[in-house]
Structure 1
Amino acid sequence: MNKKIVLFTALLAMFQYGKSQIFDPNSIYDGLNAYNGNFENSGTARYIGMGESMGALGGDISAVETNPAGLGIFRNSVANLTLGVLSNKNKATMKNSYSNTDTNFNFSNAGFVMAFGDESDRLKLNLGVNYSYQRLDNDVVFPYNENYVYTINNQEFDFNSYEQSVDGYKSKLKFSIATNFDDVIYFGLGLDWHYISMDRMDSYSDRLLSDNNLGYFYRQGTPYSQDANGFGLSVGVIGKVFPELRLGAAYHSPIWWSDIDTGYNYFTAEVSKDNVLNWDIYYGYYDKYKVTAPGKLVLSAAYASDIVNDDNSLAFNFDFINYFNKDYEFKGSPDYRLNNTFVDNYMHDSQEYRAGIEYRFKELKVRAGYAYMSSPVKDNTITGFNYETGTDSMVKNYMAGEKNKFSFGLGYDIGQFFADFAYQFIKTDYYTSFSGAYYNNKEIRNFGPGSEGPLSPIFDSVTFGKIKNTQNNFVLTLGMRF
């Protein structure tokens, strides 16, 4: 077979795929899970134990992540440090299933509050600094599927495995300022500096049926590494309707991620003047782009009996959060801007509902919480082959699924010191997909005369895989009031 014909066929397939491609699934996944600004596993044990529901209750350094006005409720200066152990389990299914679990330990949160003013002052001022850290590690592996068989140059292959792997972390440093007027109304402002460092790998392997030879491939443009800085701000207010009832509202601006540095691998092919097909794999290819992650609106209500003067007290908080997901915007080369088509056509606003309760008996505190988040992606999205149904279909919860979070916690005061513990369980079901071009940079595979080279399988159609993700988060906070 003439090498020019082979090359023309491969490039034509890639061109046809490019014409139909309207987004990069990896970039969309990163936008929804890394660049969204949410720190689901980070926060004080009190905050997590109450289901991250403290928008009107305040009085906790992590509560400023929901409403910065909550900083104004502090009556004493506080310093605390939070340690966490997170277990992340994925069960990936595409006819057959495979489960894997990653566990990591980290210092997930640290905070400091300076409370100014005497109890008799009508106007008080508080300053706060809060640091949040969250691992992004997530490894999804789809196992062997004997029913997935395809033909390249009259040779049959079947599906051996497919893996999506993310390794890295994100962090946020938040500076907050809040005022307290007569313990009736509270105003707050927060400034956020974000940072992300992560690596992503998207790989595929197949098996040649004639001799069981395995071939390993990377998706075009992967592996890649990213480093990014972002900025956002938030404003909020809390008011007492009567002494036990508080209402709050906060607005969080979009997060402006600028100059996302990306290094990735890419392969090309060309025919030389002497009719030789040359494959070249470029390492360390460099690019930059920008992302604007959506803002959100938070409405809160809280009931809180007097936790200062009573030995027994009860506090309850409810938060409603609306995420403006249509505000996602990718800026950079045309390849990145294609993702805006996905945002325009397939995303919508999502909502989160959080509820938390705390009961205090002298020095002992008991907490519980629940939160639900709807998917930011419309139910009916792209069409692809679904091995659950065995047909081409659209799927619900594509790229990002509904989240359910359950939590409980305990706290105990020892003079000016305190210790809090929380356990959080998070469950998410969603679909991922693979398609497009994959290259081989480890070996030469021969598909027939004149076709030697790191050939790239071209998957014109989308294939869905289902993922059940469960997380177990154990959190311990140690702090001091002064």
Structure 2
Amino acid sequence: MKSKYIFFAVSLFAALSANAQETYENAKLAGEDLNGTARYVGMGGAMEALGADISTIGSNPAGIGLFRHSNVSLSAGLLMQSDGKEFSNGKKTNLSFDQIGGVYTTRTGQKSFLNFGFNYHKSKNFDYILNAAGSLNGSSQNKQSYIKGMLGDQKVGGFNVDKNKDGQNIGYVDAKSSDVAYTWSQIDYLYWNKLIPGSTGIYNYERATGYTLDRAHTGYIGNYDFAVSGNINDRVYLGLTFGMKDIHYKGYSEYRENFNNGGAVVRDERKVTGSGFDITAGVIVRPVAESPFRIGAYVKSPTWYDLTTSNVTGLVYAQGTTSKNAYVSNSYNFKMWTPWKFGLSLGHTIGNYLALGATYEYENYADINSRVNDGGYYDYYYNEYYESSSPDNVMNAHTKEALKGVSTLKLGVEYKPVSNVALRLGYNYVSPKYVSDAQKDPGLASLGTSYASTTDYTNWGAINRFTLGVGYQVKKFNIDLAYQYSAQNGSFAPFSNIRDISVPSGTTSVKESNIATSADVKNNRSQLLLTLGYRF
């Protein structure tokens, strides 16, 4: 068997010089895990009003103003997946370096401090293995590409297939245009050049009986936060954080469909790297001087990301004893802006033995902004090039239909049976970010569609997190241990549904449907986290 490597046509690169990303791919990068110090995790993250923990630097930086001594801390642990089977380089148990940071305190008055903090923490850990399978009853991934080609026009979600100068099938805007359609994706390219044109040259598609998908996600988003925070007469605490982020994501998948005579496998490797920055401002107030009760509020700006994504995607098509291999690869830069985040928190302490915290956050993921890089200018004075961008309005409209606002509730309690031992308990509820009946739209005239190399998507449900923790202090040293269990269910689909769509057939039209059978999937994970700290 001889493999033939095929790469995207030069004409496609020329037509698609600007870039954007797709709704479901963007959603993978948005949001945060519950992570930080073991004390913060053990209390469910409900410390935005209690403060005095370095992990509040990224949510409510006013909490840094409650430190009375300088300190440093270091956290690491294990992340364990409780379901699924190991695949490729993905492992169900992974070591993780999660946090390192410190606070430097300076006294500015009898009851006032000005504190400076730095903290690195892993805000998102991508280590996860997804396995899904289901029946198809005659529908297939390649039929989706076939229907788009039969539609023949970008205006109705399809493309017009014609040969380019190299003899490759390319999807154009319509029968009169020489411009490549934005609805023409990388996966369409593979199918229309290897599977859909049969040996007789007649366009057709293969019907599938069932599918399986295995995908290993790896990587992380690292946060580097720099904060300044102070207090006024131990009653009002103010804080400001400038944060930088770096993304390292990799996903490798194998999607298989079984045909009546043979089958097809799509192997896809996707990488996303890049950086971003954001700003967070917060306040904590003690409304009654004689009471330790506190109210906290904070706002986090969008994270302005500048990212690069690349993929290598291969199709192995076997019919009888004949196998055909084709590969396509691509790389491009894009921008993404996450939504604003708002938070309100309450905190109260009773003596030196009990602390109670509650936090509510809201973030509207429907406002994720996919950006098209559309030019820039060169600053000769500073010898720098600045790239400009504009919204991908088509994809952003789809994002508003597929995603929604998310509410996060954090609850936590810490109890000290003796002065140097702390017991902690916490709970998180994160509402779903996906609309329940949303799906990936392969017919969007968007650059996010053009660079798509997979068709599957998952509508994940709510997240429930349960945490436990214990802390022990010896003189100026502290050691904290936390356990977190996170549970989430989702609905996986190998491709979007097409129901009773009219496509041309000779002088008439016929109704075509392509219905994907969804599969129930889970993302249940456990984390064991250890923090070592020292107070100066």
Pairwise same-fold verdict (TM > 0.5)? yes
Task: Flag structure 2 segments of 5+ consecutive residues without an equivalent.
Answer: 1-19, 144-203, 316-323, 374-389, 442-456, 498-511
1:163 maps to 2:220 = no
The equivalent position to 2:33 in structure 1, one of 28, 39, 48, is 39
Q: Residue 261 of structure 1 aligns to which amino acid in structure 2?
A: T
* Corresponding residue of 2:471: 411
- Which residue of the other structure, out of 187, 191, 202, is the alignment partner of 2:242? 191
1:70 aligns with 63
Q: Which amino acid aligns with 1:112?
A: G
**SS where residue 71 of structure 1 aligns?**
helix
Greater mean alpha carbon deviation, residues 285-294 or residues 412-421: 285-294
In 1: Cα distance, 2:97 partner to 2:213 partner: 32
Matched, 1:381 2:381: no
Please give the residue correspondences for 1:202-213 in structure 2 after superposition, counting only pairs within 5 Å. 202-210=253-261, 213=262
Structure with a larger share of its residues in strand = 1
Q: Is the 8 A contact 1:245 1:302 kept in 2?
A: yes
TM-align CA RMSD: 3.1
Identity of aligned residues (%): 25
Equivalent residues of 1:89, 1:101 under 8 A apart:
no
Q: CA deviation at 1:157?
A: 4.1
Pairwise CA distance, 1:65: 2.4
DSSP 3-state at the match of 1:46: helix
2:224 is aligned with 1:173: yes
1:150, 1:30 → 2: CA distance?
A: 24
1:481 is the counterpart of 2:527: no
Equivalent residues in 2 for 1:418-429, closer than 5 Å: 418-429=478-489
- Which digits, 9 at most, give the CA deviation of each residue in 1:314-353, with x for residues without a partner? 1100001011223211012799654312222232211111
- Where 1:193 maps in the other structure, the secondary structure is strand
Residue 17 (structure 1) aligns with: none
Matched residues in 2 for 1:58 and 1:171: separation? 22
Q: CA deviation at 1:107?
A: 1.4
Residue of structure 1 equivalent to 2:425:
368
Q: Tell me the alpha carbon deviations over residues 281-316 of structure 1, each in whole angstroms, 9 at most, x when there is no partner.
A: 333x22111111112111011111343xxxxx2110
Q: Which residue of 1 aligns with 2:369?
A: 329
Paired amino acid for 2:476: Q
The partner residue of 1:55 within 48, 51, 55 is 48
Residue 473 of structure 1 aligns with an amino acid whose one-letter code is Q
| Residue 123 (1) aligns with residue 112 (2) | yes
Q: Cα gap change, 1:32/1:282 in structure 2, threshold over 3 Å: closer, same or farther?
A: closer
SS in 2 for 1:244: coil
Distance between the aligned counterparts of 1:401 and 1:355, measured in 2?
Answer: 20
- 1:28 matched residue in structure 2: 23
How far, CA to CA, are the matches of 2:528 and 2:340 in structure 1?
29
The equivalent residue for 1:393 is none
* Partner amino acid, structure 1, of 2:423: V
The two structures have a TM-score, normalised by structure 1, of: 0.75
Q: Deviations over 1:407-440 (max 9, x none)?
A: 0100011000000011111101112222279xxx
The residue matched to 2:47 in structure 1 has which SS?
Answer: coil
- Taking a change above 3 Å as real, the CA distance of residues 462 and 257 of structure 1, as seen in their structure-2 partners, is farther
Whether contact under 8 Å (1:434, 1:462) holds in the other structure is yes
- Any gaps of 5 or more consecutive residues in structure 1? 1-23, 93-99, 269-277, 308-312, 385-396, 438-457
- Indicate the residue corresponding to 1:19 in structure 2: none
> Given the superposition, is the C-alpha separation of residues 418 and 154 from structure 1 closer, same or farther in structure 2, using an over 3 Å criterion?
closer
1:358 aligns with: 414
For residue 460 of structure 2, give the secondary structure of its aligned residue in structure 1.
coil
Aligned to 1:431: 491
- Per the normalisation by structure 2, the TM-score is 0.68
CA distance in structure 2 between the aligned counterparts of 1:250 and 1:414, rounded to whole angstroms: 33
Trace 1:242-321 onto structure 2 (pairs within 5 A): 242=288, 243-258=291-306, 260-265=307-312, 281-283=327-329, 285-307=330-352, 313-321=353-361
Aligned to 2:387: none
Say if 2:266 is the partner of 1:217: yes
**Kept in 2: contact 1:297–1:322 (CA 8 A):** yes
After superposition, the Cα gap between the structure-2 partners of 1:352 and 1:306, relative to the gap in structure 1 and judged at 3 Å, is same
Q: Is the 8 A contact 1:90 1:101 kept in 2?
A: no
How far does residue 266 in structure 1 lie from its aligned partner after superposition? 6.0
